[in-house]
């Protein structure tokens, strides 16, 4: 017996709802990291949870997402004693200040 139209419609709506919910935990766009003039890494459509480590220390980050980032000089998204994280709004770019050291990781700022 074929499925009714209403069951098919409800199934389609449920699948669409799941797909849209999955996208909410993702920052659409790219984060591009450089060390001097050299491109180091591009991260596309990252999940907004957790800590991201750069392949190497970077001097400039271009945030082409609409989400804000917290930049860290440690590889594990922690703030060292006497240090601080740097807030980078999206979309924007920022260059590291020589006195702070290279950026080694980032996480997404809470909404």
Every domain of the chain and the residues it spans:
27-108
What is the CATH architecture assignment of 27-108?
A: Sandwich (2.60)
- DSSP conformation letters of 20-66: HHHHHTB--SEEEEEETTEEEEEEES-BSSSEEEEEEEESEEEE-SS
pLDDT tens string 39-92: 999 999 999 999 999 999 999 999 999 999 999 999 999 999 988 899 999 888
Q: Which residues contact 72 (CB under 8 A, 6 or more apart)?
A: 78, 79, 85, 86, 103, 104, 105, 106, 107
Per-residue pLDDT, 11: 53
Arithmetic mean of pLDDT over the chain: 84
Residue 21 has pLDDT above 50, yes or no: no
Percent of the chain with pLDDT over 90: 60
Cis peptide before 91 (omega within 30 of 0): yes
State if pTM tops 0.85: no
Per-residue pLDDT, 104: 97
- CB crowding 32-71: b at 16 or more within 10 Å, else e: bbbbeeeebbeeeebeeeeebebeebbbbbbbbbebbbbb
Count of CB atoms situated within 10 Å of the CB of 74: 16
Residue scoring higher pLDDT (111 or 70):
70
Between the CA of residue 5 and those of 8, 11, 14, 94, what are the distances in Å? 5, 10, 14, 53
Per-residue pLDDT, 18: 46
Per-residue pLDDT, 38: 97
């Amino acid at each position: 017996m074929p499925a009714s139209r209403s069951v098919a419609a409800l199934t389609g709506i449920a699948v669409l709802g799941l797909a849209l919910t999955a996208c909410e935990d993702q920052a659409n766009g790219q984060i591009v990291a450089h060390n001097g003039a050299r491109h180091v890494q591009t991260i596309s459509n990252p999940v907004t949870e957790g800590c991201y480590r750069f392949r190497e220390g970077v001097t400039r980050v271009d945030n082409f997402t609409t989400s804000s980032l917290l930049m860290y000089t440690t590889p594990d998204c922690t703030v060292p004693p006497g240090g601080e994280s740097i807030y980078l709004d999206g979309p924007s770019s920022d260059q590291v200040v020589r006195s702070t050291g290279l950026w080694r990781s980032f996480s997404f700022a809470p909404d």
